[in-house]
Amino acid sequence: MKTIRFLITGVGGQGTILASDILAEVGLRLGYDAKKSDILGLAIRGGSVISHIIWGENVCAPMIDQGTADFYISFEWLEGLRRMAYTKPDTVVLANDWRIDPVAVSTGQAEYPAIATIQDIMKTQCKELHVIPATPMAVELGNAKVFNSIIMGRLSQLVGGDEDIWRSAIVDKLPQKVRELNVTAFNAGRALNA
């Protein structure tokens, strides 16, 4: 059984931890041992959030080492750039095409790097970059918060495994009132050929 290492980066309030919970649950349901660890910045809402998820035959530690991510999921461009040390030449990157200005940028103390520059760095350092317009797609579906289910849909195509297992993990981790919309978002992500 191959070990698969995932890293998810985002900003507090984007559902990074929920996405890591779902990804760990998918791993368990696919027959892997799965471990995860979440690191939250000083300010939960708006601060950096990093989630490490490992699937394998026998996972002993919940965190991945730098330079070992097989799949790197970035919910926001700048956060994605900040953790590139976890990638390697054959890492597959899934990036939500979305920008959230940190306080230093919104107050004029720093500049946000050009998104084209961030993309060039990701393309140079990794095997593949899948840019996903997940937040705009989620807004079209009626709720911006379901963007991470769109990304999970695309990720499920790349990682493999029974798509119904992925859907059931999403359904079981979410409240009843948002399950149907998140499944719709997951299906929209699976339909992408980004």
Q: Under a CB-based contact definition with an 8 Å cutoff, are residues 148 and 189 in contact? A: no
189 burial (CB, 10 Å; 0-12 / 13-18 / 19+) is: buried
Helix, strand, coil tally for the chain in percent (to 5): 45, 20, 35
pLDDT for res 194: 45
Sign of the torsion formed by the C-alpha atoms of 102, 108, 110 and 112: positive
Average pLDDT score, the chain: 94
- pLDDT single digits (tens) 126-157: 999 999 999 999 999 999 999 999 999 999 99
Question: 4-133+162-174: CATH homologous superfamily?
Answer: Pyruvate-ferredoxin oxidoreductase, PFOR, domain III (3.40.920.10)
Q: Mean per-residue pLDDT for 10-23?
A: 92
Quickly tell me which residue has 């996405």 as its tokens.
Answer: 19
Tokens of 49: 């959030």
Q: Mean per-residue pLDDT for 34-49?
A: 80
Domain-wise residue ranges, the chain: 4-133+162-174
- The number of beta carbons lying within 10 Å of the beta carbon of residue 36 is 21
Alpha carbons 151 and 72: distance in angstroms, whole number:
11
| pTM score over 0.75 | yes
Dihedral (Cα; 179, 185, 191, 194), 10-degree rounding: -140
pLDDT confidence of 163, banded at 50, 70, 90?
very high
The pLDDT > 90 percentage for the chain reads 87
Alpha carbons 94 and 75: distance in angstroms, whole number:
8
- pLDDT single digits (tens) 181-192: 999 999 999 999
Alpha carbons 80 and 89: distance in angstroms, whole number:
16
CB environment 119-142: b (16+ within 10 A), e (fewer): bebbeebbeebbbbbbbebbeebe
Is the pLDDT assigned to residue 113 strictly greater than 80? yes
More confident residue, 38 or 103: 38
